[in-house]
Chains A and B, each alone.
Chain A
Amino acid sequence: MSVIELESVSKRYETGGEVVDALDCVDFAAARGEMVTVIGPSGSGKSTMLNMIGLLDTPTDGRVRLDRQDVTDCTADELTEQRRSTIGFVFQDFHLLPMLSATENVELPSMWDTSVDRRERAETLLRRVGLGDRLEHTPDELSGGQRQRVAIARSLINEPDILLADEPTGNLDQETGRTILEELTRLKTDEDVAIVSVTHDEQMLEYADRVVRIVDGVIE
C-alpha cells in the first residue's frame, strides 16, 4: 500500500516569458519498506518531483496524496505539520547546523516539542548509524560520511513514513557512499519507511528495489 502518491502531477515554471514544464503529468507511488531510486539527466525534474513528494512545493496540476489523504490544497502551515510528522529529509550537502552537537542536530526537528524528550531516541539513532562515540561532536569535528549519517539520524527522529534523499552520496567518495547506502537499506526495513532517493551515482542502483527514470519532466 503506497504511503505517498502523485497523480498526474505537473509543475510549470514561468520566468520572464519563458515556460518550463519541470514535471509533466507524472504518476508516482512509493510504499513503506521499499527504496525507490529516481535517475535522469540534469535538469530533468528529479528535484522538482522530490519537492512535490516532500510537500515542500505544490503542483500546478494534479493531486498529491499522503497516506491516501489528499494534501494538494493544504495551507503552508498544514504542510509544515505533515512534514514534521511524516517526512524525513536527507540533503546532498548535509545541512547540519554548525552550532549544535550531533545529538542536538538529530533532535532538531522535535526540538520545539517540549512535551517529549527525544534525547534518548536521538542517541539511540546515532548509535545505530555507528556514531555512538561522537554524540557531543559538532559538525565541523566530523567527516563527510559521519555528517551524512547524522543527517540520516535526524531524518528519522520523528518516526517518519517517508525518507527523501536528494543525492545523499553526491558529496561522498565511493567507499563512504556505499556505507551510507547500506545504512539506508538497513533502516528501510528496521524503521519501515519508504525511501525515495535521487541520484547520479550508478552504484546506488544496486541498492534500489525499484528505479524510476525521468527525462524532461516525464517518467519513462
Chain B
Amino acid sequence: MRVSSLFRRVPSVLMAWRNLGRSRVRTALATLGIVIGVVAIASLGMAGAALQQQATADLEGIANEVQITVGEDNDAGGIEPEDVDDIRSLSTGAEVVPEQSNHTTLASRDGQEMPVSVTGVTEANVLYDGADGELPDRLRSGALLTDETADQLGLEPGDPIEFDGQLYRLEGLIETEQGFRFVNNELVLPPEALSSQTAYDTVTVVADDGDEAQQIASAINERFNEPDDEQLRVESFADTQDELDSFMTTLNLALLGIGSISLIVASVAILNVMLMSTIERRGEIGVLRAVGIRRGEVLRTILIEALLIGVLGGLLGALCSLAVGLLIFRLLVGDAMAVFGWASLQYLVYGFAFAVVASVLSGLYPAWKAANDRPVDALRG
C-alpha cells in the first residue's frame, strides 16, 4: 500500500479513500443507492426525450403544411375555385393543392367489398408518399391506392379500377400512414373523376417551413374569416408542434420529478451510512482531533467521503443509464444510436450532477457533527 505522491498532496482525499475502502460492502451499498437514483432520473428523462423525438418525427413533413377546409359559417358547402385562386395569391412561394373527396366501395375479383375515400387531386406526389418508388408528378388518367387496401383486395399496379362508371388504371401504391397525417383506405384519382362537384373539400398549402406556413395561415384567415364568421377552417400544424412541445416539456418535468424522488431516497441512505460510519469511528476521530487535526480538516475528509460515493455512484449510474437509454431509443424511436444527442445525453449530466450534489448535502450533517465533537468526549466513547 504505497501512497501516491498525488494523494499525499491532498490528505483529506487520501484519508477519505482509505476510509471508504475499510467497509467495502457499506460503500458498495451506498453507491448502489446512488446508481439506482441516477438511473431513475436519467432513464426517465431519456424516455421523455425519445417520446418527443418520435412525436416530432411524426409531425415532420407536415409542420410546414396548412390545411384549409370548409368553415362552419360557409353556406356554399365547399371551397369554390375562386377561393382557391385567392388562396394561391396569398401563398406566394408555396405549393397549393386543392382536393375533392368522395366515398365509394371497391370490390375484389372474388367479390370482397371495401369502403374507401376518394380524393381528386392532380399533385398527388405532394400529399402522398409512394409505398415503393416515386409517384407520378401529375395524375392524368391513372389511379393511386393505399398499399394495404390494394393488398387486401388483391390489386396490383396495372389492374383496372372502376369509379362512377369509368375505368382507371392503377398507376401506383401509396403508403398507409398512422399518426397526425392519417392515410388509410384511400383511392386517389385525377380531379376530373369528381367533376360532378365543382367545389373543393380541402386545400393543402405546403410552405417551405413552419414559420412560413403560419404566416400563410394567418393571411388566409384574415382574408376569409371574421371573428364570428368562419368561412374557411384554417389549420396549421406548426401550432400542433408548439402544443406538442409544451406538453412534452410538462411530461418531462413530471418524469424527472418521479426520478428525483428515488435520488432523494438514495441520499437519505447516504446520510444514514455516513452517520453510522462517523458514529462508529467516533473514538478515531477523537484521536485525530487530540493530536491536532483541525475541525475543518476532519469536516473536509468526511465530506470528501460522501463526495467520492456520489462521484462513483454518479459515474456508474450514468454508464448504466446510457445502456438503458440505448434500449429505450431502440424501442421507442427504432434507432438505438439516436440516444447520442444532447437532447437525451443531457439527462446523464443532470443525473450525475444531482448525485454529486445530493451526496455532498447528505454528508454535511454527519461531517459537521463529527468535526464538532469535543475530543475528550469522543475519546471517552
Contact = CB atoms under 8 A, between A and B. Distances in A.
B109 interface: no
A112 B287 contact: no
Interface in A67-93: 76-77, 80-81, 83-85, 87-89, 91
Contacts of B19: 99
A97 interface: yes
Interface in B34-81: none
Nearest to B290: A89
Nearest to A82: B292
A108 B8 CA distance: 11
B3 A98 contact: no
A5 interface: no
Chain B's interface size range is 20 to 34
Contact of A109 (B14, B15, B292): B292
B289 to A, nearest CB: 7
Contacts of A15: none
Contact of A95 (B8, B287, B293): B287
A101 B292 contact: no
Contacts of B167: none
Interface string A117-137: 100000000000000000010
Interface string B278-297: 00000110011111111101
A154 B283 CA distance: 17
Contacts of A83: 290-292
A77 B291 contact: no
A36 B18 CA distance: 38
A101 B1 CA distance: 8
A140 B145 CA distance: 84
Given A83-B292, A138-B1, A114 B9 contact: yes
B11 A80 contact: no
Main SS of chain B's interface residues? helix
Contacts, number: 72
B294 A77 contact: yes
A114 B11 CA distance: 8
Contacts of A91: 287, 379
A54 interface: yes
Contacts of A76: 295, 374
Contacts of A57: 374, 376
Contact of A108 (B1, B2, B21, B288): B288
A114 B8 contact: yes
Given A97-B284, A114-B9, A80 B22 contact: no
A139 B3 CA distance: 16
A142 interface: no
Contacts of B379: 56, 91
Contacts of B287: 89, 91, 95, 97
B11 A112 contact: yes
B9 A84 contact: no
B368 to A, nearest CB: 14
A111 B3 CA distance: 12
Nearest to A100: B18
Interface in A28-64: 51, 54, 56-57
Contacts of B283: 95
Given A57-B376, A114-B11, A108 B18 contact: no
Contacts of B374: 57, 76
A109 B1 contact: no
B375 interface: yes
Contacts of A114: 8-9, 11
Contacts of B2: 136
Contacts of A80: 289, 292-295
Interface centre among B15, B290, B374 (most CB of A within 10 A): B290
Interface in B67-109: none
A104 interface: yes
A158 interface: yes
Interface in B262-311: 283-284, 287-295, 297
Those 10 A-B pairs whose CB atoms lie nearest each other, nearest first: A84-B292, A99-B18, A109-B291, A95-B287, A111-B11, A83-B292, A56-B376, A57-B376, A112-B297, A112-B11
Interface of B: 1-3, 8-9, 11-12, 14-15, 18-19, 21-22, 283-284, 287-295, 297, 374-376, 379
26 contacts: A56-B375, A57-B374, A77-B295, A80-B289, A80-B294, A81-B292, A81-B294, A84-B291, A84-B293, A87-B292, A91-B379, A95-B283, A98-B22, A99-B18, A101-B1, A108-B288, A109-B292, A109-B293, A111-B14, A112-B11, A112-B12, A114-B9, A117-B8, A136-B2, A138-B1, A154-B291
Interface of A: 51, 54, 56-57, 76-77, 80-81, 83-85, 87-89, 91, 95, 97-101, 104, 108-109, 111-112, 114, 117, 136, 138, 154-155, 158
Given A76-B374, A87-B292, A99-B22, 5 more contacts: A80-B293, A88-B291, A108-B288, A109-B292, A111-B11
